[in-house]
Structure 1
């Protein structure tokens, strides 16, 4: 299977996974038409597995697609959380950025371990893609140029998009995934995202 075909397959799987889930943001959802711009899908892992279609154990293609997408989304959000202390004087915003950053670094460890369990080598399948829930290059430029309340507003908007989209993805893979460890992590992410969204809503409350 060529890298172009593997890339198109991954994006098709993501379109299914994201079906009905991309309405929360104004960034385009991935779909089969993006295959030509996709980087190659997962390359052979240490055991020689050929990527999503040949993942080891109980991992199905949706499990692999979700894991790769979550890695991309979490990595981009860390750029936001790492930037926040320099751009805000709001202790609540700073505290949430620190909490989300710590949480996402832990998630990334777990997600990468799952790829190793599946004998799928880590690669950035979504380089250059503006996915729903992803902090984009344009977002980062706007965030870097802002400070104080203007930054705080952008932080809340970008963080809400990310948390809501990754919550939807977790709920989707709980239904469509087959690997128990994937579904267990998705359940934990669903719990965490729900709590983080409540925390974000509290930050928006007048007179806090």
Structure 2
């Protein structure tokens, strides 16, 4: 069984320019992701996937591979299904794990446990989720509570937000769904894997980056946010 870590790294971004190269603790976000995947020790290959050649030397310096996808797959109009499909056709494997560099508070242990969970449960797609055990509304209507009574938050069913910090797909199922015109992202038997709530913090703006900077050592150097 071949398990590949794919780290997407688009050069363009609308709010934070070249965000994959933005420094966090003096190290580019893309490098944090690469090192996290290497430290996890669960991947047969680690590949940076970008339309821009400048990520090639970075990948090489960190001892991993580089896949340069077509330039059009790096535009704002390209979907994740498009570039994942192109990647899988060029890099055959049993499973691919997309590890986002813009979710730097995902821990190495969570990457390792996520991969183990997908292999053990034998699902086709595994989604990372953040559990939120608070009253939630959708279109101003209750999702996990009722207006007829007040429930203590600890007694509520958690609402599970897909974090996309790490996602796993069985390659054959993903490609078959794409080729049939279906939605490949959620195709087949699905599972969810809870990650710490900070793993759902995604870097889109300079403010997001500064928040991640403030929380980095707490999350990665002995802090814990699970169950808070």
Greater relative CO, 1 or 2 (CA 8 Å, sep 6+): 1
Name the TM-score, length of structure 2 as normaliser: 0.24
Write 1 or 2 for the structure with the bigger share of strand. Answer: 2
Q: Rg bigger for which structure?
A: 2
Name the TM-score, length of structure 1 as normaliser: 0.25
